[in-house]
Structure 1
Amino acid sequence: MSTALSLPSGLLIDGERVTQSSGGRHEHIYPATGEPNATVTLAGAAEMDRAVASAWEAHRAWMSLTVDRRRDLMVDLADVVRDHLDELALLNVHDYAVPVSFAGTARMLEWFIRHFAGYADKPHGTSSPVNGSFDVNLIEREPYGVVAVITPWNGALAVAASCVAPALAAGNAVVLKPSELAPMAALRFGELCIEAGLPPGLVNVVPAGAEGGEALVRHPGIRKVHFTGGDATARRVLVAAAANLTPVVAELGGKSANVVFSDADLDQAAALAAHQGPLMQSGQSCACASRVLVHDAVYDEFLEKFLAAVAAAKIGDPLDPTVFFGPVISAAAADRILGVIGDAVAQKSGELLLGGTRIGGGLAPGYYIEPTVFGDVDNVSALAQTETFGPVVSVIRFRDEAEALRLANDTPYGLNAFVHTRDLTRAHRVARRLEAGSVWINQLSIISPQGPYGGYKKSGFGRTGGLDGLHEFMQVKNIRIGMG
Structure 2
Amino acid sequence: MIATYPNTSGQCLINGEWRKVEKTADVINPANKKEKVGEVALCSPELVKEAIDSAAEAFKDWSRSDIRERAARMNQAAEELATIVEENVSLLVRENGKSLVEAKVDLLRCMDVMKGSAQELLEWWGTETYNGGQNVQIRRRPRGVTAVITPWNSPMILTFKRVIPAVLAGNTVIVKPATNCPLTIMSFLKIVAAYFPAGVINIVTGSGREIGDIISSDSRVRTIAFVGSTETGKDIMRKSSGTLQKLYMELGGNDPAIVFEDANLDKDAIERLKMGVLRAAGQVCSAIKRIYVHKSRYDELVEKLTQAFERVVVGNGIQPDVTMGPINNEAQFKYVTELLERTSESGANVVTAGIQLDPETWDQGYFMLPSIVTGVQQDSEIVQAEQFGPVIPILPFSTMDEVIGLANDSQFGLRASVWTENEEIASEVADRLEAGAVFHNNHTIFKDLNLDFPGLKESGLSRETRHGSLELFADSYGFAD
Q: Which residue of 1 aligns with 2:381?
A: 382
Per-residue deviation, residues 34-64 of structure 1 (Å, max 9, x unmatched): 1233221122221112212222333333234
Q: Which residue of 2 aligns with 1:420?
A: 419
Give 1:165 shift.
1.8
Q: Which residue of 1 aligns with 2:60?
A: 60
SS at 1:85 equivalent: helix
Work out the CA distance in 2 between the residues paired with 1:311 and 1:44.
47
C-alpha contact 2:285 2:388 (8 A) present in aligned 1: yes
| Farther off after superposition, 145-154 or 356-365 | 356-365
Q: Which residue of 1 aligns with 2:244?
A: 245
Work out the CA distance in 2 between the residues paired with 1:352 and 1:61.
59
Number of residue equivalences: 469
Q: Which residue of 1 aligns with 2:314?
A: 315
Q: Which residue of 2 aligns with 1:353?
A: 351
C-alpha contact 1:162 1:464 (8 A) present in aligned 2: no
Work out the CA distance in 2 between the residues paired with 1:7 and 1:265.
49
Q: Which residue of 2 aligns with 1:49?
A: 49
Work out the CA distance in 2 between the residues paired with 1:331 and 1:146.
34
Change (3 A) 1:108 1:149: same
Equivalent residue letter for 1:384: V
Q: Which residue of 1 aligns with 2:206?
A: 208
Gaps of 5+ in 1: 1-5
Give 1:96 shift.
1.5
Q: Which residue of 1 aligns with 2:108?
A: 107
Work out the CA distance in 2 between the residues paired with 1:12 and 1:265.
51
Q: Which residue of 1 aligns with 2:392?
A: 393
| Farther off after superposition, 425-434 or 176-185 | 425-434
Change (3 A) 1:26 1:465: farther
C-alpha contact 1:452 1:467 (8 A) present in aligned 2: no
Mapping of residues 66-77 of structure 1, within 5 Å: 66-77=66-77
SS at 1:394 equivalent: strand
Change (3 A) 1:465 1:110: farther
Work out the CA distance in 2 between the residues paired with 1:315 and 1:395.
22
Work out the CA distance in 1 between the residues paired with 2:39 and 2:67.
40
C-alpha contact 2:67 2:168 (8 A) present in aligned 1: no
Mapping of residues 296-307 of structure 1, within 5 Å: 296-307=295-306
Give 1:464 shift.
4.0
Q: Which residue of 1 aligns with 2:461?
A: 461
Work out the CA distance in 2 between the residues paired with 1:188 and 1:282.
24
Matched, 1:81 2:88: no
SS at 1:179 equivalent: coil
Give 1:77 shift.
1.9
Q: Which residue of 2 aligns with 1:254?
A: 253
SS at 2:151 equivalent: coil
Work out the CA distance in 1 between the residues paired with 2:230 and 2:87.
32
C-alpha contact 1:379 1:407 (8 A) present in aligned 2: yes
C-alpha contact 1:119 1:169 (8 A) present in aligned 2: no
C-alpha contact 1:42 1:207 (8 A) present in aligned 2: yes
C-alpha contact 1:27 1:40 (8 A) present in aligned 2: yes
Equivalent residue letter for 2:196: L
Equivalent residue letter for 1:127: T
SS at 1:118 equivalent: helix
- Root-mean-square deviation over aligned CA pairs: 2.2
Work out the CA distance in 2 between the residues paired with 1:7 and 1:323.
29
**Identical-residue share of aligned pairs (%):** 27
TM superposition score normalised by structure 1: 0.91
C-alpha contact 1:31 1:328 (8 A) present in aligned 2: yes
Gaps of 5+ in 2: 1-6
Work out the CA distance in 2 between the residues paired with 1:199 and 1:292.
49
Per-residue deviation, residues 160-180 of structure 1 (Å, max 9, x unmatched): 221112112211111111010
Change (3 A) 1:55 1:423: same
Give 1:377 shift.
2.4
Work out the CA distance in 1 between the residues paired with 2:73 and 2:346.
57
SS at 1:364 equivalent: helix
Q: Which residue of 1 aligns with 2:18?
A: 17
C-alpha contact 1:14 1:54 (8 A) present in aligned 2: yes
Mapping of residues 201-240 of structure 1, within 5 Å: 201-209=199-207, 210-240=209-239
Work out the CA distance in 2 between the residues paired with 1:227 and 1:476.
22
Equivalent residue letter for 2:432: R
C-alpha contact 2:63 2:142 (8 A) present in aligned 1: no
Matched, 1:8 2:12: no
Per-residue deviation, residues 71-90 of structure 1 (Å, max 9, x unmatched): 11111122222222223433
Per-residue deviation, residues 188-240 of structure 1 (Å, max 9, x unmatched): 12211134x22222121212212123222222221110110001111221122
Work out the CA distance in 2 between the residues paired with 1:248 and 1:296.
42
Q: Which residue of 1 aligns with 2:408?
A: 409
Q: Which residue of 2 aligns with 1:272?
A: 272
SS at 1:147 equivalent: strand
C-alpha contact 1:176 1:203 (8 A) present in aligned 2: yes
| Farther off after superposition, 116-125 or 386-395 | 116-125
C-alpha contact 2:155 2:177 (8 A) present in aligned 1: yes
Give 1:7 shift.
7.0
Change (3 A) 1:7 1:397: farther
| Farther off after superposition, 282-291 or 234-243 | 234-243
C-alpha contact 1:449 1:465 (8 A) present in aligned 2: no
Q: Which residue of 2 aligns with 1:3?
A: none
TM superposition score normalised by structure 2: 0.92
Give 1:388 shift.
1.4
Work out the CA distance in 2 between the residues paired with 1:156 and 1:213.
17
